[in-house]
A = this chain, B = another copy of it.
Amino acid sequence: MDYSSQAIQQAVEYFSSLPSIGKKTAQRLVYHLLRQEGTFIEKFSESVLNLASDIVFCSVCFNFTEDDPCPICSSKKRKRNIICAVEQPSDIVLLEKTAEYFGLYHVLHGLIDPLGGISPDLIKLKELVSRMGDVEELILALNPTVEGEITIQYITKILKPLGVKITKIASGIPIGSSLEFTDQATLSRALEGRIEL
């Protein structure tokens, strides 16, 4: 055992099992917690526990929520005839921060990945199809990776015949970057997706 206590050892192991947290950082975090005064540790622990007890999936869009349907799905201010499909719940946080999208969302909880064994029935695709009733536009805000592209192609193939307008978010040179630092594939995409002025 590396530590003077089993409790410290265990907490370090749990923290270091989290992404981007190595053993050293985990140790620093645990010793930081031990230095806190009052009931900080209890409150921190409770806030983590609440994630398990309070959060469910929205039965409509499959985002994390405390109330079902989620605040976005039940909001009267959102346009109900436009849906933006994302890979995971945290993508919604990013899109909401742009403050430019006022439709609904749909979380796929994954991308189709034939090599990785993720077939279309393992993500929330059936559920997306069943929501297409009154939808005028489906925006695919998926990562521009191989899995993202495969998923986009698959969704287009099954939904296009239903007459749904399907769009995907643009790929191109990030704002503030330059052509010099942009890879070939991104540059090709930027050229392909050029906009008339």
Please tell me which one of the listed residues B8, B20, B55, B96 contacts residue A51 in the complex, with CB atoms under 8 A apart.
B8
Q: How distant is the Cα of A92 from the Cα of B46 in the complex, in angstroms?
A: 29
A101: CB under 8 A from chain B?
A: no
A14: CB under 8 A from chain B?
A: yes
A66: CB under 8 A from chain B?
A: yes
Interface residues of A in 19-55 (CB under 8 A from B): 19-21, 25, 27-35, 39, 41-52, 54-55
Q: How distant is the Cα of A10 from the Cα of B92 in the complex, in angstroms?
A: 17
Interface residues of A in 68-93 (CB under 8 A from B): 70-72, 88-90, 92-93
Q: Given contacts A2-B93, A33-B51, A34-B51, is CB(A7)–CB(B45) below 8 Å?
A: no
Please state if B10 and A18 are interface contacts (CB–CB under 8 Å).
Answer: no
Chain B residues positioned under 8 Å from A13 (CB to CB): 47
Please state if A65 and B11 are interface contacts (CB–CB under 8 Å).
Answer: no
Q: How distant is the Cα of A70 from the Cα of B1 in the complex, in angstroms?
A: 14
Beyond A5-B55, A7-B54, 9 additional pairs, beta carbon < 8 A: A11-B48, A14-B44, A19-B28, A27-B93, A28-B90, A31-B88, A34-B55, A35-B88, A41-B52
